[in-house]
Structure 1
Amino acid sequence: MVNYMLYISGELENLTNFQPRGGVDDPDFTYYFKLKCENCGEVTEKETCVSLNETLPLPKKGTTNLIQKCKFCKREGTVTMIPGRGSPLTNDSSETGKYAPLMVFDCRGYEPLDFAFSSGWKAESMEGTKFEDIDLSGGDFAEYDEKGECPVMISNVRAMFKVVDLSKKNL
């Protein structure tokens, strides 16, 4: 079992608290990324989608969010999401180039790669205006905050997966 934390970053202009629409542990938010088989090294052609509200029973006990068989070597692997470890990307973190932890994935037989930003994000302006259902599938988001009388933008979004030890408090 290997735990991978998904970290996100980007340039936030006059925005803060960038995260999935329902918060970092939004059960309806769908994560899209490719998977690499740890047995044969094959990478999935298309992104796999995983969300907290979709669970499958495991053969012995418990549940997981994804069971997938490698198309090349036919080995089966699982991805189980572990909520409660994420936090939104703030304006301060963005300005210093830091990444915010978003979600932990317990991967067995697979390694997550190439997270794809899509729709379903939210952020708020420095004046408190809320921007819901931000779509980043095109890469950027730009609007105008009437209350704060300033442009707001999310650009240069980036993501990375890093192996984490959940027994440590500082991820």
Structure 2
Amino acid sequence: MVYVALFITAELEGLTNLQPRNGFDDPDHPYIFKLKCENCGEISKKPSCVSLSEQVPLPNGRGTVQMIQKCKLCDREGTVKIISGQGKPLTEFHGQNRQHVQLVIFDCHGLSPVEFSFGGQWKAESTKSKTTFEIDLSRGEFADYDEDGV
């Protein structure tokens, strides 16, 4: 059993509590990344997406995971399971001090997530007015103006 933790950091100017829109345990929030085969080192060409709502039964019948994927190069099968309840919001303090915050933990067997991409909707609060912003981070940036915080 190998646990892989995904940590994030960002420059948050006037924002705090960056997190998935419906919280860290939102069953539909997508985690998007490429996968590296732990047997041969091959990295998938296309990104994969997992969310808590996806449940795939293990072939041996001992539980479920979010993803089972076979390596295109060596044909080895690997699994990825999301361990819920592990995320923490990225606050303005973390951003100003360039600290990383744990977003999610994956239980991986035979595969490792690499090259994470932001998907889904995110939210953050204004530090001035507590206005909540809906954020799309798929382009890697977000900019807006808080009219209530002036």
For the residues of structure 1 that align with 2:120 and 2:107, how far apart are their CA atoms? 24
Matching residue's letter, 1:11: E
TM-score (ref. length: structure 2): 0.96
Matching residue's letter, 1:29: H
For the residues of structure 1 that align with 2:140 and 2:5, how far apart are their CA atoms? 21
For the residues of structure 2 that align with 1:80 and 1:118, how far apart are their CA atoms? 18
1:42 counterpart = 2:42 = yes
For the residues of structure 2 that align with 1:46 and 1:21, how far apart are their CA atoms? 25
Cα deviation, 1:48-101, whole Å, max 9, x if unaligned, reads 101001111112210000000001111100000001111000000110000110
Q: Match of 1:95?
A: 96
Q: Match of 1:5?
A: 5
Q: Match of 1:24?
A: 24
For the residues of structure 2 that align with 1:51 and 1:31, how far apart are their CA atoms? 6
Q: Match of 2:147?
A: 146
Q: Match of 2:64?
A: 63
State the number of aligned residues. Answer: 148
Higher strand share: 1
* Structure 1 residue 135: Cα displacement: 1.0
* Structure 1 residue 117: Cα displacement: 1.4
In structure 2, which of residues 126, 130, 133 is the aligned counterpart of residue 131 of structure 1? 133
Q: Match of 1:104?
A: 105
- Structure 2, unmatched stretches of 5+, are none
The 3-state SS of whatever aligns with 1:144 is coil
Cα deviation, 1:2-58, whole Å, max 9, x if unaligned, reads 001110110011000001111122111000011100011100011110100111111
For the residues of structure 2 that align with 1:79 and 1:17, how far apart are their CA atoms? 27
| RMSD after superposition | 0.8
Q: Match of 1:117?
A: 118
Q: Match of 1:165?
A: none
For the residues of structure 1 that align with 2:138 and 2:89, how far apart are their CA atoms? 19
For the residues of structure 1 that align with 2:24 and 2:12, how far apart are their CA atoms? 17
**Identity over aligned residues, as a percent?**
57
The 3-state SS of whatever aligns with 1:143 is coil
